[in-house]
């Protein structure tokens, strides 16, 4: 009997097996090389017009929701980062490699269903990686994205046999056993071999190879194999999960029911958001095809057609949830930025950016409390276009009747509109002039009982309803900003204290020498 490798190499030599573009291979190497600056990746992307267009489209898409527009490829690449650029590039290239493939009998492979499942496993893999604090979250995403690529390999190599296989799977036979019996190689093996051929990474190839193995075998593997196996397992669950379904996460990675729910909730909506922004055509299967078929997935529904109507209905019902998932993803990025920054400017810049993204605010600045001078003073990031004007704002708090002070002292979010009830306090009137908008929000910042200041935000009338519905998000932003500013201030005070102690010690030593 011929070996798997012999079958693969034989077919590889006789049929046009898809290969990664030469530019992508260089791009992957550059993204993985820590010694190469991310700015140096842009010239490689620029050589591929389609890829350049996708990078710029993604960074300017609703998924990131940035207030500014990137037209410079290098700036876009630097903003997205190496891991995101690598994943985007591979996604776009794999999609392009297999674009338009057709069966010899004229029936198209259900590529929309394939991409939906692949993006769902990628999203689930990323979420699982976060829950277990896996060091390379983007690798988990990529493993989920590519774990089933063997289906495409078998389709290209054996189109007739593949169609027969899909019909057998619809009847409930074991997928890998049927593939091995008819072709002599499974989609897991074919996918793993292709990924090795592409030199993407042995652990990623293993994730593809073992994702249908018995769970007892998976338990002995490294985390990436377990993550991908679990992501694929979750993707096959019916809409009504049972407690037994959550045990897989516990047995493989120690995830409890709450963590599993965190992984699952909103994953499908996130897939829709990603697909829309990357312009990947997906087809969301109907409820009937979501149920397990002897534990295996097939790509031809019982009626032989994908369910475009199901996809449209899902999008219609879940657009608001898709938008919410985008916002949640952005909030996670904001929290990471606060953790990673080590400066006051970085804290202010991150807060300005997240508010600008979520609420389309043109103007954001801060009135921070100076406890020694008993006043609120204007602050902004160095990148803020109003920074010169803001730094001259000083509001004494003693006997103040301004609504800015009321928000600060009472820890209350206040929204004002020029056409509505207004404050007669001159400071509020002048702040409205600085904001230069029809609406303004005072967002207080506090750490426990310690008052930090107020964020001043411009708001349009169109966004008023959006703001009122998302008070919890605003409060989260304010709380996390307040904590970061408080810790940064404590650090600066501690540094000054240590510096004073060093100076005193040095002075004492100098006197002894004299």
Tokens of 144: 């989920």
3 state SS for 381-421: CCCCCCHHHHCCCEEECCCCCCHHHHHHHHCCCEEEECCCC
Tokens of 284: 């969301």
Residue pair 279/91 in contact by the 8 Å Cβ criterion: no
Residue pair 485/452 in contact by the 8 Å Cβ criterion: yes
Of 195, 196, 18, the C-alpha closest to 99 is 18
Residue pair 443/454 in contact by the 8 Å Cβ criterion: yes
Question: Can you give the pLDDT at residue 124?
Answer: 92
Which residue in this structure is represented by tokens 């593809």? 208
Look up residue 471 and give its DSSP letter. H
Reported as a single tens digit per residue, the pLDDT across 317-376 is: 445 544 555 565 566 667 767 777 778 998 998 899 888 877 778 899 999 999 889 999
Q: Please report, for residues 8, 61, 136, 271, the alpha-carbon distance to residue 322 in angstroms, rounded to integers and kept in the order given.
A: 41, 14, 25, 9
Rounded to 5°, the CA angle 398-402-404 comes to 100
Of 252, 205, 208, the C-alpha closest to 230 is 252
Question: Can you give the pLDDT at residue 160?
Answer: 80
Reported as a single tens digit per residue, the pLDDT across 142-165 is: 889 889 988 888 887 777 887 788
Neighbours of 280 (CB within 10 A): 18
Does residue 366 sit in helix, strand or coil? Answer: strand
Structural domains in the chain, CATH included, are: 19-97 (no CATH), 109-333 (1.10.3210.10), 343-484 (3.30.450.40)
What radius of gyration, in Å, describes the C-alpha atoms of the chain? Answer: 28
Which residue in this structure is represented by tokens 């693969």? 8
Which residue in this structure is represented by tokens 């592409």? 198
Helix (H) or strand (E) holding 201: none
Residue 25 φ then ψ, to 5°: -60, -45
Tokens of 14: 């006789």
* Weakly modelled stretches of the chain, pLDDT under 50: 1, 14-16, 103-106, 108, 287-308, 310, 313-318, 321-322
Of 114, 107, 170, 121, the C-alpha closest to 284 is 114
β pairing state of 439-447 and 450-459: antiparallel
Query: Rounded distance, CA 166 to CA 1, Å?
Result: 25
Query: Rounded distance, CA 294 to CA 351, Å?
Result: 49
Question: Can you give the pLDDT at residue 360?
Answer: 78
Query: Rounded distance, CA 27 to CA 9, Å?
Result: 26
């Amino acid at each position: 009997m011929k070996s798997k490798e012999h079958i693969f190499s034989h077919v590889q030599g006789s049929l046009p097996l898809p290969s990664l573009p030469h530019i992508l291979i260089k791009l992957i190497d550059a993204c993985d090389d820590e010694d190469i600056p991310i700015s140096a990746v842009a010239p490689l992307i620029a050589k591929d017009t389609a890829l350049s267009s996708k990078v710029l489209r993604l960074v300017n898409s609703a998924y990131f929701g940035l207030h500014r527009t990137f037209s410079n490829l290098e700036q876009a690449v630097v903003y997205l980062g190496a891991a995101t650029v690598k994943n985007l590039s591979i996604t776009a290239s794999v999609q392009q490699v297999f674009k338009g493939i057709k069966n010899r009998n004229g029936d198209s492979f259900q590529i929309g269903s394939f991409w939906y499942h692949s993006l769902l496993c990628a999203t689930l893999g990323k979420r699982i990686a976060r829950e277990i604090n896996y060091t390379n979250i983007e690798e988990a995403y990529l493993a989920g994205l590519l774990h089933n690529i063997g289906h495409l390999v078998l389709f290209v190599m054996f189109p007739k046999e593949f169609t027969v296989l899909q019909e057998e799977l619809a009847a409930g036979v074991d997928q890998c056993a049927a593939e091995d019996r008819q072709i002599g190689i499974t989609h897991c093996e074919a996918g793993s071999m292709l990924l090795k051929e592409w030199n993407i990474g042995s652990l990623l190839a293993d994730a593809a190879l073992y994702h249908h193995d018995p769970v007892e075998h998976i338990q002995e593997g490294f985390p990436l194999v377990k993550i991908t196996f679990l992501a694929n397992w979750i993707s096959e669950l019916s809409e009504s999960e049972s407690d037994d379904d959550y045990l897989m996460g516990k047995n493989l990675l120690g995830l409890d029911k709450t963590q599993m729910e965190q992984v699952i909730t909103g994953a499908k909506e996130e897939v829709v958001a990603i697909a829309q922004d990357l312009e990947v055509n997906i087809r969301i299967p109907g409820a009937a095809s979501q149920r397990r078929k002897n534990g295996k997935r097939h790509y031809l529904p019982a009626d032989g057609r994908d369910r475009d109507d199901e996809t449209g209905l899902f999008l219609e019902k879940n657009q608001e949830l898709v938008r919410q998932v985008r916002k949640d993803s952005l909030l996670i990025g904001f929290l990471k930025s606060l953790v990673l920054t080590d400066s006051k400017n970085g804290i202010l810049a991150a807060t300005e950016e997240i508010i600008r993204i979520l609420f389309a605010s043109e103007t954001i600045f801060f009135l921070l409390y100076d406890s020694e001078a008993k006043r609120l003073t204007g602050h902004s990031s160095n990148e803020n276009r109003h920074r010169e004007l803001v730094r001259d704002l000083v509001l004494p708090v003693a006997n103040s009747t301004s609504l800015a002070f009321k928000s600060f002292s009472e820890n209350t979010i206040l929204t004002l509109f020029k056409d509505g009830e207004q404050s007669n306090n001159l400071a509020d009137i002048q702040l409205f002039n600085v904001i230069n908008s029809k609406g303004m929000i005072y967002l207080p910042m506090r750490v426990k009982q310690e008052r930090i200041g107020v964020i001043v935000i411009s708001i349009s009338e169109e966004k008023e309803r959006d703001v009122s519905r998302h008070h919890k998000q605003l409060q989260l932003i304010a709380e996390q900003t307040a904590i970061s500013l408080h810790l940064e201030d404590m650090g600066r005070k501690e540094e000054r204290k240590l510096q004073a102690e060093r100076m005193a010690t040095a002075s004492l030593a100098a006197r002894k020498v004299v």
